[in-house]
Structure 1
Amino acid sequence: MGNSLVPPGGDDGDNIEPVDLRRALEERYLAYALSTIMHRALPDVRDGLKPVHRRIMHTMRLLRLNPDQGFAKCARIVGDVMGKFHPHGDQAIYDALVRLAQSFSMRYPLVDGQGNFGNIDGDSAAAMRYTEARMTDVSTHLLEGITEDAVDFRPTYNEEDEEPAVLPGAFPNLLANGSSGIAVGMATSIPPHNVAELCDAALHLITAPDASVADLMQFVEGPDFPTGGIIVDDRATILDAYETGRGSFRVRARWHQEDQGRGTWIAVVTEIPFGVQKSRLIEKTAELLLARKLPLLEDIRDESAEDIRVVLVPKSRSVDPALLMESLFKLTELESRIGLNMNVLSRGRVPNVLSLKGVLQEWLEHRKEVLVRRSRHRLAEIERRLEILAGYLIAYLNIDEVIRIIREEDEPKKVMMVRWDLTDAQAEAILNMRLRALRKLEEIEIRKEHGELSEEKKQIEGLLASEAKQWQTVAWQVGEIGKKFGPEDNPELGSRRTTFSEAPDHDLSDIHHAMVEKEPVTVVVSEKGWLRAMKGHLSDYSALSFKEGDKLKLAFHAQTTDKVLIFTTGGKFYTIGADRLPGGRGHGEPVRIIVDMDNDQAIVTAFAHDPQRRLLLASWAGNGFVVPEAEVVANTRKGRQVMNVKAPDEAKLCVPVAGDHVAIVGENRKLLVFPLSDVPEMTRGKGVRLQKYKDGGIADIKTFAMEEGLSWQDSAERTFTRSREELAEWIGARAAAGRMAPKGFPRTGKFG
């Protein structure tokens, strides 16, 4: 037992190698990261494929699964891919294969599947032993010319076989089908596009290599998703994304309104954003419905068959359809953001974020290189054939002599080579000739083929010598692809599915209201700054309970859709949605938990927001100004500084403006009345002096209409009103000291 812990090779420690942990980790992690980036997660810009997809395509070609031939079991394909090229899990390979066949995942599917390949609800495909597959037309274009030395081959993982390093890629697959992947420290996300548009842009790039991304956007307006939908970004945002290679697209579901008779209607969604699972979308919406987050929606039903049909039933016929959809776009995946991060392996080696132009340029360069390599390969073939034809011609002209040499000589090949100055290949070809070919081996046929091949050879040599001709040929090929998969020749596959539109501008508060169920509440604020919202409009506040040593400061009626504004002694306004206030059980929560309010500040007042009103703010020292209430709403927890006050001064009063005069009374019981027009209207500031004090500060302020007179209530709740004549001695200029309040003015110094 004791021996099992000794390292192999005795106990002298010879076999233990000290390794610097940091260096070992760096080396190994870097190797892992590189392998993930290069051989797993990032697509090659030239054929738009990751290694697993490339190996699937290559295997299907070797299995001769052409579009015009029969299907093979997916298990067979996966087995071959795994055994020969891709030493990873079979499920991972099958998942990749399934995705290539899904018409809702791929804009131009590369695999033609037979059997259950999953659906847009997120159900997975049947097991690979049940499903079958073959290639589509698109994949044959990706592989076109692979046997003609169009691309480099490299040894497979066990060096028993060879696999292509990249496919010839006659189809602009990277942008057409998009790609997404997460590597180490980098990710890629490319949405699908329309092939006809991409080909037009590529053709423009061939004729005008200096074209800008904006020029190319005349052809490629934006992504084209297999599931359709509507992109609601403006052109500038899309252009910026295509120029930098990074950005995102806002995609919305396509919907229309269906009339149900008698004024009722439903909204029907027929296309959902790319990558969203329909069943999950409906589940999530139903959850929001149960949680009463969607007060405009009555019900959601899935009536889809082959096509998508999700029915949204409104609460009542008076609901605005656009507003209902807007609230759904905001809360559900009916609107989703699809990222753009064109991080690809540039030239098959370097991970790089490319612009739209960069991607198309690299694809065209690759196409040109493939053209040159295929032409050279064809040229070599022609030269070999011409050589043999020349040999045949000699044999034909001297057929009797050839037969004699073959019959009589021991080494006919050598004799023939010497006799007619033939090359080894020519002599071999003559010896391998069938007897039945003697009849067909007519001089005219040989000369005809020789002539045709010589002509082709001349053309290819011309092509290889001239770059302009090469680009001309590439342009012709690109044009053909654009035509073949474009809307004219192939309307079902080629027509654009995703359209563009501006998102309708709805008032944010309208949308906010659409998401909150409208219910009456009573907002209660305690002296110590605890807030809560009781259900219903209470009329008797005496029954409210508070914490020890706390009492009611103020309470007011509101709706759950209202915003509650809170004004503090520091001159700040805070905004809280009435639906966000803690409920009426218990004592509520301190305002400082709900918003970021300084500890040395207290609540001056709180009220339900009315954007039409104006407010008169006054500080203890007697400064003040008027502010439109719409200007004081704060969008963050930090609040909005509206009144600037420096200690010891603090904000003291906030009253709604009504009428044309201001009455102000100080702690010294002096009253002053002056026109409201003397007080400036501002959105932020210190304000102007309203009344002058020798000592003490402001007690109360009120605005009123002079025609109706100034009224106040005394402690016995009797109301006194003074007319203009009776107020004559108190009417003065703003910032005056005022005179002692008239007889009968409340002792509290408040107008009541």
Structure 2
Amino acid sequence: MSDDLDDPLGGPAAETSEPLRRAIGERYLTYALSTIMHRALPDARDGLKPVHRRILYAMRELRLTSTGGFRKSAKISGDVMGNYHPHGDSAIYDAMARLAQDFNVRYPLVDGQGNFGNVDGDNPAASRYTEARLTAASEALMEGLNEDAVDFRDNYDGTLTEPVVMPAAFPNLLANGSSGIAVGMATNIPPHNIEELIGACLHLIKYPDARDETLVDLVPGPDFPGGGVIVETRENILEAYRTGRGAFRLRARWEIEDLGRGQWQIVVTEIPYQVQKSRLIEKLAELIQIKKIPILGDVRDESAEDIRLVLEPRSKNVDADLLMGMLFRNSDLEIRFSLNMNVLIDGRTPKVCSMKEVLRAFLDHRREVLLRRSQYRLNRIDHRLEVLEGYIIAFLNLDRVIEIIRTEDEPKPVMMAEFELTDVQAEAILNMRLRSLRRLEEMELRRERDELRAEREGLEALLASEDLQWGRIAEQLRETRKQFGKGSEGGARRSTFADAQIIEDVPLEAMIEREPITVVCSKMGWIRAMKGHIALDTALKFKDGDEGRFVFHAETTDRLLILGRNGRFYTLSASTLPGGRGMGEPLRLMVDLPNEVEILTMRIYRPGERLLLASSAGDGFIVPSDEVLAQTRGGKQVLTVRGDTVAQVCRVVRGNHVAAVGENRKVIIFPIEELPEMNKGKGVRLQKYKDGGLSDATTFTLEMGLSWLDPAGRRRVQTELDEWLAKRAGTGRMAPRGFPRDNRFTD
């Protein structure tokens, strides 16, 4: 068969792969650019994404001014979708609702009436139930749209036009922040304070080469809508603003409330940005339930208009700073807000910018807006002056003008020829009302002409001088600062700064009140903690078909070591055990112990102890107890077992010799030095077997003899042990007379 057969889709197979690859690449690149430019990344000049820009412009077209009436949100989102943004109305409404949420947006651009969601994370009501209008801040962003301040482009179907960018009277990108995920890139910018941003802009106007350090002095950090305390160091903040990437640690604001008689509670009044209050409370309740922070007693939500979360300590002796430090570490009472200032710097090119570059882009945009508005005003003045000159000529020759209009069939060309009028002037005279022919009107016209000429001179000077332009921009920024700065309602800084108190790692035992308990675990693995040290032979109740397995005295500050037959150690804090009122809870809900794996032993962790571990195959080693502590629910594999082999022995090392007994009732004794100390593994052979395996092993002091309980329950001690002394890994000799039939040593 020929190797150069044509591909069934047309053309040789070798020729289709490259064009297909190129076609897919081109289409994906087009999609990526569309996502970056028209959906996910904001414009550095006005800080808006296309959907937000279209929402505000559509509301402006509906004349929903900040002092006017409200309109149904459904009407607004419908107009946006039909005229400018051909996407889902729910997506448009969600974007509009977010612009109205004062807990998400530092300077809301939409004034919402109705349920627009809350800090608990509840969704806004349906668009048919809510109403909206513009705010003063959004009007400031659009000031000058009617004065050719920015370019317009056709909408998606070419029937209308929309602004490419807003004139933007303040740096909205930094003032309200932004977030979005594009293709291969993302942006995340926190909100800031307008007062500080305009101060930085004015400094940048005066000193174009200003250092980043100076700008950070003027804008020390974000200003989140919900307040909170920023605990990031100045060095990190400076580096983040200099590079455009970094993070800010934000903590909840809290205070101690005295309840009298030595009692107190903590009240949280501000929570971190974009943290849902309901989720936060659930997390705190979970920490209480699993006793991860034992010194926290209870959490209550007493919020009304303001946030008020009440945290009750377990006792009045708890250190409040320690408690809050643990909560900051284990909950969203402290978050890390990432900064990624990836924006469209000129409306087209995505770039990660520093704060200085973003402010520079805004100022350059403001200069272009000023020049365009000034030129537009100059053109309007020229047109008006032309008309006024025609009016004045008409007044000076009023009788002749009236005569021409009365007698001529085509008065316009006659007047233009006789008085040297332009087409615009002649048309304006012909459209003049009769009431304007009074004497006083001529004086008004001359006064207006003189004023317009003076204004024209000022505009020409402005357009010719860059210094005058920046002076005018600075003047406009000061007016904006007066409107939205710290003197206005809600304009004062909300987020404050503080040094982070370093909370050292506190052992769990240090946070738990030390109380005696009796740990009870059944054969089926139901565990509980009885208060106090009860007699170990006390009759206890268990579930039907179950019975007691482990009963021992402990304290709430203890940690329990649990070894499964799979050779894996699990660790439990005694303070987290369920109370002893009921039957307890399954141990397998607290650690990831497989259902088919039996518990070999359960004991209290004692630092510095050494444990003898051995498998049913007769292999074992000594391990420090510190090495078997598990940090996770999954436990820690210490003794390696494979196939039918299981963990058989776990005893505390006491003495200088090891005794092992096999299922064949043969006993071997050897010095403990012959066993290696390891952190994990299979170990070495303790005893050799022809059939069967290891039954038990223990350690003891040779001089004091080997002890066990005889069938009658009496303690017997064998001191003459030379017969069983041998090298490790020997077969051993038959057990002494009276050795227990279950082949077990006493613990």
- Calculate the TM-score normalised by the size of structure 2: 0.72
Q: 1:563, 1:575 within 8 Å by CA — same for their partners in 2?
A: yes
Amino acid at match of 2:186: A
Q: 1:516, 1:579 within 8 Å by CA — same for their partners in 2?
A: no
Cα separation, partners in 2 of 1:516 and 1:463, compared to 1, 3 Å: farther
Q: Tell me what 1:72 maps to.
A: 71
Q: 1:100, 1:106 within 8 Å by CA — same for their partners in 2?
A: yes
CA distance in 2, matches of 1:566, 1:714: 18
Q: Tell me what 2:531 maps to.
A: none
Q: 2:40, 2:180 within 8 Å by CA — same for their partners in 1?
A: yes
Q: Tell me what 2:558 maps to.
A: 520
Q: Tell me what 2:378 maps to.
A: 379
Q: Tell me what 2:492 maps to.
A: 495
Give the superposition deviation at 1:716.
Answer: 1.9
Q: 1:396, 1:441 within 8 Å by CA — same for their partners in 2?
A: no
Q: 2:609, 2:652 within 8 Å by CA — same for their partners in 1?
A: no
Give the superposition deviation at 1:382.
Answer: 0.3
CA distance in 2, matches of 1:242, 1:224: 14
Q: Tell me what 1:439 maps to.
A: 438
Gaps spanning 5+ residues in structure 2: where? 1-7, 515-555, 576-595, 614-619, 642-649, 655-673, 680-699, 707-724, 728-747
CA distance in 1, matches of 2:325, 2:230: 15
CA distance in 2, matches of 1:372, 1:512: 70
* Paired residue secondary structure (2:490): helix
Q: 2:393 matched to 1:394?
A: yes
CA displacement 1:472-515 (0-9 Å, x = unmatched):
11111112212221112x1x311110011111112113579559
Q: 2:569, 2:629 within 8 Å by CA — same for their partners in 1?
A: no
Give the superposition deviation at 1:440.
Answer: 5.8
Name which of structure 1's ranges 319-328 and 270-279 shifts more when overlaid on structure 2.
319-328
Q: 1:294, 1:516 within 8 Å by CA — same for their partners in 2?
A: no
CA distance in 2, matches of 1:437, 1:397: 14
Q: Tell me what 1:145 maps to.
A: 144
Amino acid at match of 2:130: T
* Paired residue secondary structure (1:494): coil
CA distance in 2, matches of 1:717, 1:258: 64
Give the superposition deviation at 1:578.
Answer: 4.6
Aligned-residue CA RMSD in angstroms?
Answer: 3.8
Q: 2:608, 2:624 within 8 Å by CA — same for their partners in 1?
A: no
Q: Tell me what 1:292 maps to.
A: 291
- Number of equivalenced pairs: 583
* Paired residue secondary structure (1:298): strand
Give the superposition deviation at 1:521.
Answer: 3.9
Cα separation, partners in 2 of 1:395 and 1:653, compared to 1, 3 Å: closer
* Paired residue secondary structure (1:171): coil
CA distance in 1, matches of 2:639, 2:513: 24
Corresponding residue to 1:715 among 703, 713, 734: 703
* Paired residue secondary structure (1:35): helix
Q: Tell me what 1:211 maps to.
A: 210
5 Å-filtered alignment, 1:439-478, equals: 439=438, 442-478=441-477
Q: 1:566, 1:575 within 8 Å by CA — same for their partners in 2?
A: no
Cα separation, partners in 2 of 1:186 and 1:513, compared to 1, 3 Å: farther
5 Å-filtered alignment, 1:59-458, equals: 59-439=58-438, 442-458=441-457
CA displacement 1:61-113 (0-9 Å, x = unmatched):
11111111111111111111111100000001100111111110110000111
Q: Tell me what 2:522 maps to.
A: none
CA distance in 1, matches of 2:327, 2:364: 45
Name which of structure 1's ranges 512-521 and 141-150 shifts more when overlaid on structure 2.
512-521
Amino acid at match of 1:241: A
Amino acid at match of 2:491: G
Corresponding residue to 2:637 among 590, 598, 601: 590
CA distance in 1, matches of 2:625, 2:432: 98
Q: 2:605, 2:625 within 8 Å by CA — same for their partners in 1?
A: no
Cα separation, partners in 2 of 1:589 and 1:385, compared to 1, 3 Å: closer
CA displacement 1:256-293 (0-9 Å, x = unmatched):
11111221111111100000110111112212322222
* Paired residue secondary structure (1:312): strand
Gaps spanning 5+ residues in structure 1: where? 1-10, 538-546, 595-602, 608-648, 655-711, 719-746
CA distance in 2, matches of 1:470, 1:565: 81
Amino acid at match of 1:184: V
Give the superposition deviation at 1:116.
Answer: 1.0
CA distance in 1, matches of 2:129, 2:631: 53
Q: 1:42, 1:183 within 8 Å by CA — same for their partners in 2?
A: yes
CA distance in 1, matches of 2:628, 2:300: 31
Cα separation, partners in 2 of 1:227 and 1:391, compared to 1, 3 Å: same
Amino acid at match of 2:349: V
* Paired residue secondary structure (1:154): strand
CA distance in 2, matches of 1:62, 1:251: 39
Q: 1:326, 1:511 within 8 Å by CA — same for their partners in 2?
A: no
5 Å-filtered alignment, 1:618-697, equals: none
Cα separation, partners in 2 of 1:28 and 1:310, compared to 1, 3 Å: same
Q: 1:194, 1:496 within 8 Å by CA — same for their partners in 2?
A: yes
5 Å-filtered alignment, 1:516-555, equals: 518-521=556-559, 523=561, 531-532=569-570
Give the superposition deviation at 1:321.
Answer: 1.0
Name which of structure 1's ranges 142-151 and 64-73 shifts more when overlaid on structure 2.
64-73
Q: Tell me what 2:22 maps to.
A: 23
Q: Tell me what 2:502 maps to.
A: 505
CA distance in 2, matches of 1:328, 1:478: 42
Q: 1:604, 1:653 within 8 Å by CA — same for their partners in 2?
A: no
Cα separation, partners in 2 of 1:449 and 1:300, compared to 1, 3 Å: same
CA distance in 2, matches of 1:505, 1:179: 31
Amino acid at match of 2:191: P
Give the superposition deviation at 1:297.
Answer: 1.3
Cα separation, partners in 2 of 1:92 and 1:715, compared to 1, 3 Å: same
Give the superposition deviation at 1:33.
Answer: 0.8
Give the superposition deviation at 1:42.
Answer: 0.4
CA distance in 2, matches of 1:204, 1:574: 64
* Paired residue secondary structure (1:141): helix
Q: 2:570, 2:630 within 8 Å by CA — same for their partners in 1?
A: no
Amino acid at match of 1:464: L
Amino acid at match of 1:101: A
CA distance in 2, matches of 1:386, 1:512: 87
Amino acid at match of 2:505: L
Amino acid at match of 1:103: D
Give the superposition deviation at 1:207.
Answer: 0.6
CA displacement 1:572-598 (0-9 Å, x = unmatched):
999669573779xxxx8532799xxxx
Q: Tell me what 2:730 maps to.
A: none
Fraction of identical pairs, as percent: 54
Cα separation, partners in 2 of 1:440 and 1:278, compared to 1, 3 Å: farther
Give the superposition deviation at 1:322.
Answer: 1.1
Cα separation, partners in 2 of 1:582 and 1:414, compared to 1, 3 Å: closer
Q: Tell me what 1:580 maps to.
A: 631
Give the superposition deviation at 1:516.
Answer: 11
Give the superposition deviation at 1:567.
Answer: 14
Amino acid at match of 1:256: E
